[in-house]
Structure 1
């Protein structure tokens, strides 16, 4: 599958979720079809895409989760940017560094 084909299919799923009322059975079918095609093609896709395709049932139940996933996919479609991790605050990095240094010093003594 080409990147443009994947992007078009994701846009189709977003459009299906934008209708009111949402036909979640149709959304599930579209997600499953694209997921199977991606698996068969061996195409490497960002984790956000894989989660989006597997989580339609969660989006149906949790509007906030659905909004966040759709926003992430829209960002990916418009910019090519995506984030597949958990944001760590900068102070968290500092704490980790201090703890690692303390453990290192403790191990030397």
Structure 2
């Protein structure tokens, strides 16, 4: 999973947050355009992947993922609105609880 994250991290558009709240992750997927895609295509899932960096900070990737093609929806460049990288120092309690000891969660 982390090799996938690294390959996407090279091109994905990124934002920086001091603390990521679980609501930030949910809001990314509540975008009306993304919601329509998820409802229209049952092969798509809403995925959030985290990686803890050696300095204790986190990289988090939120994306629409096509289970059939095993690819992120859209072009592999920074203008892809179906993928977003978040660089953050910490996660709020709800985000930590949601990920637990997993690197990836699927939002439903």
Report the TM-score, using the length of structure 2 for normalisation.
Answer: 0.28
Greater helix fraction, Structure 1 or Structure 2: 1
Report the TM-score, using the length of structure 1 for normalisation.
Answer: 0.28
Structure with more relative contact order (C-alpha pairs < 8 Å, separation 6 or more)? 2
